Amino acid sequence: MSKSGFEKEKKAWEENILNPGLEKFPERKEVFTTGSGDPVERVYFPDNPGDEYLEKLGFPGEYPYTRGVQPTMYRGRFWTMRQYAGFGSAEESNRRYRYLLGQGQTGLSVAFDLPTQIGYDSDHPLCTGEVGKVGVAIDSLADMELLFKDIPLDSVSTSMTINAPAAVLLAMYIAVAEKQSIPPEKLRGTIQNDILKEYMARGTYIFPPGHSMRLITDIFSFCNRNVPMWNTISISGYHIREAGCTASQEVAFTIADGIAYVDAAMEAGLAVDDFAPRLSFFFNAHNDLLEEVAKFRAARRLWARIMRERFGARKAKSLMLRFHTQTGGSTLTAQQPDNNIVRVAIQTLAAVLGGTQSLHTNSRDEALALPSEQAVRIALRTQQIVAEESGVCNTVDPLAGSYAVEEITDRIETEAINYIEKIDSLGGMVQAVEEGYPQRQIQDAAYTYQREIEDSERIVVGVNSFVVEEQPPEGLLRVDPSVEKTQFAKLKNTRENRDNSTVSDCLNALELAANSSLNLMPSILDAVRSYATLGEICGVLREAFGEYRPNTVL
């Protein structure tokens, strides 16, 4: 392409996207400058871009979205700043949420305890010792009401890290909004709702894959009609990376999961452009800055091509890979925990330079305990310093054109395609998971990484190099063990004071729906409104669907 040809393309982009979009894509200020006062352009381009440039990079906000999903990116507004939080009781977690919102957080991110994640009530015998430990305990709508007390749900975006029982927690959120007189069409947020990665990397599954996929597509369909601004799934590479995979495997397995969800939704009769715009993704950010930036760019480009060429999507939003990022929990060390502040800062830069839409920064003490209030504030300030002081938000995709970044972007995309083709040859991701293919790949990568650390081929500061004698840090957060007894009492009170006849009717209706082809969300929502508990609702579904038992011979 000649220089004049590119300038013509650039002018068309500005006229078609930017100029009429000044109302849609307003910038934070009229002039952006460096720290020395020199002007910063919205986007930088090579002097003589060829056809390959437009094919691989293009313009921000345009296919293939390598350079970002919006034409102005952070010049328009910063990413949503979230802090993943939840511990103990709903009341304690509510206080933490209101504190974080007061400190400048712009979105909520809810962590649930293990009993909630696997669909058991707090007083189930299997849950002894786990209530409120790694997240907040939610047994019924009564707990959800306390969790969001004094937080208007029409003015905040909420992300909920919940998978197997995602439909139930979403129903509870909708019911809380109803009690605040907020209609579901005004709700904004995300449920993780990604069950495939649970089978391969995390383990909080309940039902067999086929029934789990039905619940997911029921949510897609219900939200398309009733909760249109809700992101119905956060297809998660984060936990796959935490389990030990490489950057290329994170992209490959996450996108392969996405392909499986799109296939399932289309097989259920949904049109791709009706649900694809509300699909979102969730990635990890590790310490290799350039590789992580390239990973995000490669994932965007690969998803756009798959949605257009494989699934025939036509809406621009169906092609956009929008993603949340969390800094890498597995990179944090119990040794010299203050070093983790630096690691998180590097990872924050990687996510921002890679074009994330939402970000959670881990706290320095998370290798030792749930984060303390002081540690959470430092983690949030890390995002705010990068946003306000680093200058990297003043131009779109600032590392584009770097020889290293573009080479790594291409490599990751190619390697991810090879993995996806292998998964396709096995019959798709559901079949690949059942055969243990991605699990083996993750295990092999994790083993290699750990051996490199043990052999000092890979340096981890404070762990296998630059080691010092140190005392355990003070001020760690401890969950009060009395939370379990308090939760038991609240659950008992809920069961005694609700209309148990209505609860029984709702659970019977849910059972009938589960054994039919009806969408399950209306029945789940009715059960939640009656104060049926999470364990009771999931118990009905366990009876109807059975429970998944993995093949332990991989």
Across the beta sheet with 188-191, the strand order is 230-231, 188-191, 157-161, 107-111, 80-85, 358-360, 323-327, 279-285, 233-236
Model confidence at 20, pLDDT cuts 50, 70, 90, reads low
User: What local confidence, expressed as pLDDT, does residue 540 receive?
Assistant: 98
User: Which residue's structure tokens are 């909520």?
Assistant: 108
Cα gap 398→66, rounded to integer Å: 12
Cα gap 344→10, rounded to integer Å: 36
Distances (CA, A) of 206 to 117, 166, 196, 246, 554: 9, 11, 12, 27, 20
Helix axes 247-267, 437-454, angle to 10 degrees: 160
Distances (CA, A) of 207 to 153, 430, 493: 30, 13, 29
What are 480's two structure tokens?
Answer: 């009060």
Model confidence at 358, pLDDT cuts 50, 70, 90, reads very high
Domain borders along the chain are 73-454
Whether residue 298 contacts residue 342, with contact meaning beta carbons closer than 8 Å, is answered with no
Helix (H) or strand (E) holding 110: strand 107-111
Q: Which carries the bigger pLDDT value, residue 107 or residue 255?
A: 255
Answer whether residue 5 shows pLDDT above 90.
Answer: no
Share of the chain above pLDDT 90, in %: 86
Answer whether residue 552 shows pLDDT above 90.
Answer: no
Torsion of CA 148, 149, 150, 151, to 10 degrees: 0
pLDDT tens readout for residues 418-434? 999 999 999 999 999 99
User: What local confidence, expressed as pLDDT, does residue 531 receive?
Assistant: 98
Cα gap 475→368, rounded to integer Å: 11
Cα gap 160→151, rounded to integer Å: 15
pLDDT tens readout for residues 24-34? 788 999 999 99
**Which range among 7-16, 32-41, 98-107, 365-374 shows the weakest confidence by mean pLDDT?**
7-16
**Which range among 113-122, 264-273, 355-364, 480-489 shows the weakest confidence by mean pLDDT?**
480-489
Cα gap 291→294, rounded to integer Å: 5
User: Which residue's structure tokens are 């009905």?
Assistant: 540
Which CATH number is 73-454 given? Answer: 3.20.20.240
Model confidence at 553, pLDDT cuts 50, 70, 90, reads very low
Cα gap 62→77, rounded to integer Å: 18
Phi, then psi, of 474 in degrees rounded to 5: -95, 165
Answer whether residue 13 shows pLDDT above 70.
Answer: yes
Q: Which residues, at least 6 apart from 242, have a Cβ–Cβ distance to it below 8 Å?
A: 201, 284, 328, 329, 330
Q: Mean pLDDT of all residues in the chain? A: 94
Whether residue 467 contacts residue 461, with contact meaning beta carbons closer than 8 Å, is answered with no
Instruction: Report how far apart the first and last C-alpha atoms of the chain are (Å, whole number).
Output: 51
Model confidence at 231, pLDDT cuts 50, 70, 90, reads very high
pLDDT tens readout for residues 36-94? 999 999 999 998 888 888 889 999 999 999 999 999 999 999 999 988 888 889 999 99
Whether residue 79 contacts residue 104, with contact meaning beta carbons closer than 8 Å, is answered with no
Share of the chain above pLDDT 70, in %: 99
Helix (H) or strand (E) holding 235: strand 233-236
pLDDT tens readout for residues 512-533? 999 999 999 999 999 999 999 9
Cis before 60? omega within 30? no
User: What local confidence, expressed as pLDDT, does residue 490 receive?
Assistant: 96
Overall pTM surpassing 0.95 (yes/no): no
In 352-510, beta strands by DSSP E: 358-360
What are 442's two structure tokens?
Answer: 């993750």
Q: What share of the chain is helix, strand, coil (3-state, %, to 5)?
A: 50, 10, 40
Model confidence at 138, pLDDT cuts 50, 70, 90, reads very high
User: What local confidence, expressed as pLDDT, does residue 6 receive?
Assistant: 85
